[in-house]
Chains A and B, each alone.
Chain A
Amino acid sequence: MSRLCWWFVQGLSRLLDVNEGEAARGDLQESGESGGQAVVELLGLVVRRYAAPWMHWQPWAAPLGLAAPFMLLFGGRGVSEPWLGAVGLQIHALWHYKARYQVGLPVFEDELNIVCLCLLLVIWAWAGGYAFGLLARRLAWVHPALLLVLFWMCVFPIAIMLTWGMPDIVLSLIPQVVFLLIPLLIGIYYGSRSHGVSARRAILAALTLAVLTVVAQIGESRAALALDVWSRGESMDSRMVWNPHWFPFAAILWQFGILGAIAFWRGRHAQLQTV
C-alpha cells in the first residue's frame, strides 16, 4: 500500500515544476510522512498550483484563440468552405479509386488548390494553438477548451464510422491528425513557452494567410465554374472568377488582433513592472 502511495506521489510530482517536485518529495521523505499523508500533501500542492492561474483573466480568455480557427475549420458552408472536407475528399478518392478527385481544372491548378488548402489548415491550426498556449500557459494541456476540441475531433471520425465504415475512419483521421491535431499541439507547445510574436511576424503571417485564402477561394470558385461548364458539355477556359467569403478574412483580423493585443499587454505589463 505504502509503495503504491509513493508511486502515486512520484506521478503527482511530475505535474509540478521539476525542481519543485523533487524538493517537495525530498521534504516529505525527510519529515517521515506516511505514503498516504504524502499523497494528500502533494495533491494539495498540485491543486493549488493548477488553481492559482485561474485567478487571472488569461486562461479564461484562452478559448478566444481557438474560436476563429475552429469556426473556420468546422464551420462548414455559410461560415466558410469546408477545407477539411475538400482535403478528405482527395484522400478518399486516392484510396478508393487510385485517382484524384478532379472537376475539370488543369492538373497544376488542381494541385495548387490542394496544397493551398493543406497549408491553410496547418497554419490556422498552428495559429489557434499558439494563441491558446500564449494565454493558457501551463494550464494549456489541461484546459477544458482543449479537451473539448480533442473530444470533438474524436467524435467526428466516430460519426463517420457509424455511417461509412471502418476504413473511412482511418481516412478521415489522416487530414484531422496531420493537418489539424499535430500543428495545433505544436502551436500550443510553442505558444505556452513564448512571450508573444513581434508585430512584423504577425503581419507577415496574416498576409500569408490572406493570400492563401484568396488563392483557395479563387480555386473553389473556378472548380464550381468548371463543374457548371462540364455539365453543359463545354470545356473550361482560363477565366478568373472569385466569389469571396468574407468570414475567413474577418477571422484573420480577429486572430492576429488577439496576438497583437497579447503582445501589447505583455509589453505594457513588463514596462509597468520595471517602473
Chain B
Amino acid sequence: MLGEFEYLLLTTASRLGDGAYGASIRLEIAETTGRSCSIGALYTTLGRLEEKGLVKTWMGDPTPERGGRPKRMVRVTSKGVQAATEFYNAVTRVTRGAAWDRNAETTGRAT
C-alpha cells in the first residue's frame, strides 16, 4: 500500500507525462495541494518509489534556465499505475459514507 505522499507524487508524475521531473513535480504539487514540497521529501520519495519499481528515473538533457544542469526525469511504470489505482480505489471505498463524502454529494446535487 502506498503512502499519501507517494500517491501524490505518482499521480502528479503521471499527469505531467513526458514533462515530469523534479522542479515541475514540486511546482505542480504546490499548485494543486497548496502545500510546498521540499527537495528532500521529493528525492527521497522518488528513490523509494524507484526501489519498489513504481517509477523509472533517468537523467535528462541540461537546460540554460537550470544553469546547464540536467533534469531527473520521471516516468510512472505499469506497476506504479497499478499501485496508484489500488490506492485510489481503496480511498474511494473507505470514504464512501463518511461525513465529507455526504457533504460532497449534497453540494453536487445542489449545483
Contact = CB atoms under 8 A, between A and B. Distances in A.
Contact of B70 (A19, A47, A48): A19
A20 B45 CA distance: 13
B65 A27 contact: no
- Size category of the binding interface on chain A: 20 to 34
A23 B38 contact: no
A271 to B, nearest CB: 18
Contacts of B22: 23-24, 26-27
Interface string B81-107: 000000000000000000000000000
B53 to A, nearest CB: 11
B43 A26 contact: no
A24 to B, nearest CB: 5
Residue among B39, B63, B71, B72 with most chain A CB within 10 A: B39
B67 A20 contact: no
A95 B22 CA distance: 60
B111 interface: no
A267 to B, nearest CB: 20
Interface string A194-219: 00000000000000000000000000
B23 interface: yes
A41 B23 CA distance: 13
Interface in B34-52: 38-41, 43-44
Interface residues of B, number: 21
Interface string A42-61: 10111111001000000000
B26 interface: yes
Question: What secondary structure prevails in chain A residues at the interface with B?
Answer: helix
Nearest to A49: B44
A31 B36 CA distance: 12
Contacts of A41: 38-40
Contacts of B72: 19-20, 23, 27
Contacts, number: 70
A44 B39 contact: yes
B24 to A, nearest CB: 9
B15 interface: no
B70 to A, nearest CB: 6
Interface in A1-57: 19-20, 22-31, 41-42, 44-49, 52
A47 B44 CA distance: 11
A44 B39 CA distance: 8
B67 A44 contact: no
B67 A23 contact: no
B44 A29 contact: no
B46 to A, nearest CB: 9
Interface of A: 19-20, 22-31, 41-42, 44-49, 52
14 contacts: A20-B43, A20-B72, A22-B70, A23-B22, A24-B39, A25-B67, A26-B63, A27-B22, A29-B66, A29-B67, A44-B40, A45-B40, A48-B40, A48-B44
Interface of B: 21-23, 26-27, 38-41, 43-44, 59, 62-63, 65-67, 69-72
